[in-house]
């Protein structure tokens, strides 16, 4: 694929992203905040890895710590059997603010399947389907999320990701479209196997009488450890 064709594809994808985002954003009120975090990941065996990530999320116009948690996950690349596919599972534990401003525990299990393929030498697209279940005092809260993303390797030390995601949640005996999310992230390589990421995300409730829109700045730092070789 030529440079011109690649540029055209990028322009069209960005234009679609903007149009879809603007079309989906109609809310009664808005909030601004920051998602900060740090994580480590490591390949344990061939095509099998783990990751640990800790996040602190600020809301109410950056004035309140809304939640703090840790995600522990494992991933298996299915390339030998199903090219371009990866399955993952994760456990989230932490604390978050409830509507009454009191702290309540976060306990969430999730599983996902992701497909990713190259469009050109430096551009790829992916699609991820995730099912998650959170345990609350009133019972389990279940949701299904579908995410589409465009990944661009700008240079050896810079990569960019543009994505949109829709949420459906279970209510009574059915499911309903509950949230829409759009995100842009730039990741810069600070040293070998270390990345600093900065981005912007907008998310909005759907199918509710008083929808909100959340604007979030994103700041994370990730370390990729050397592959575990075990004891000789």
Task: Tell me whether residue 71 is in a domain.
Answer: yes
C-alpha–C-alpha distance, residues 143 and 129, integer Å: 11
Helix (H, G, I), strand (E, B) or coil at 89: strand
pTM of the model: 0.85
Task: Tell me whether residue 231 is in a domain.
Answer: no
Q: What is the pLDDT of residue 25?
A: 54
Q: What is the pLDDT of residue 28?
A: 67
Task: Tell me whether residue 179 is in a domain.
Answer: yes
Of 131, 133, 158, 161, the residue nearest 148 (C-alpha): 161
- Is residue 53 within 8 Å of 71, Cβ to Cβ? yes
Ordered mean pLDDT values, 10 residues apiece, the chain (232 residues): 52 53 61 97 92 97 96 93 92 92 94 95 96 89 96 96 96 92 97 96 89 94 86 54
Q: What is the pLDDT of residue 93?
A: 98
Q: What is the pLDDT of residue 13?
A: 55
Task: Tell me whether residue 232 is in a domain.
Answer: no
Task: Tell me whether residue 29 is in a domain.
Answer: yes
Q: What is the pLDDT of residue 4?
A: 52
Task: Tell me whether residue 230 is in a domain.
Answer: no
Total number of domains constituting the chain: 1
Q: What is the pLDDT of residue 41?
A: 97
Task: Tell me whether residue 58 is in a domain.
Answer: yes
182 bridge partner residues:
164, 202
154 bridge partner residues:
none
Task: Tell me whether residue 153 is in a domain.
Answer: yes
Range of the domain at 149: 3-225
- Is residue 140 within 8 Å of 164, Cβ to Cβ? no
Q: What is the pLDDT of residue 211?
A: 85
Tell me, what CATH number does 154's domain have? 2.40.160.40
């Amino acid at each position: 694929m030529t440079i011109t064709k690649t540029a055209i594809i990028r322009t069209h994808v960005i234009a679609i992203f903007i149009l879809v985002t603007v079309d989906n954003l109609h809310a009664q009120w808005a909030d601004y905040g920051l998602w900060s975090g740090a994580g480590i990941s490591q390949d344990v065996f061939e095509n099998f890895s783990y990751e640990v990530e800790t996040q602190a999320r600020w809301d109410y116009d950056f004035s309140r710590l809304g939640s703090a948690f840790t995600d522990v996950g494992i991933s298996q690349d299915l390339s030998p059997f199903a090219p371009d596919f990866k399955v993952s599972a994760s456990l989230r534990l932490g604390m978050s603010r409830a509507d009454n401003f009191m702290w309540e525990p976060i306990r969430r299990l999730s599983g996902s399947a992701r497909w990713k393929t190259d469009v050109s030498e430096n551009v790829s697209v992916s699609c991820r389907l995730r099912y998650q279940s959170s345990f609350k005092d009133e019972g389990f809260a279940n949701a299904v999320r579908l995410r589409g993303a465009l990944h661009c390797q700008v240079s050896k030390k810079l990569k960019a990701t543009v994505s949109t995601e829709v949420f459906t949640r279970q209510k009574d005996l059915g499911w309903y479209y509950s949230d829409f999310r759009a995100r842009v992230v730039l990741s810069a390589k600070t040293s070998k196997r270390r990345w600093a990421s900065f981005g912007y995300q907008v998310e909005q409730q759907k199918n509710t009488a008083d929808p909100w829109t959340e604007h979030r700045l994103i700041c994370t730092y990730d370390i990729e450890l050397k592959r575990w070789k075990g004891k000789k």
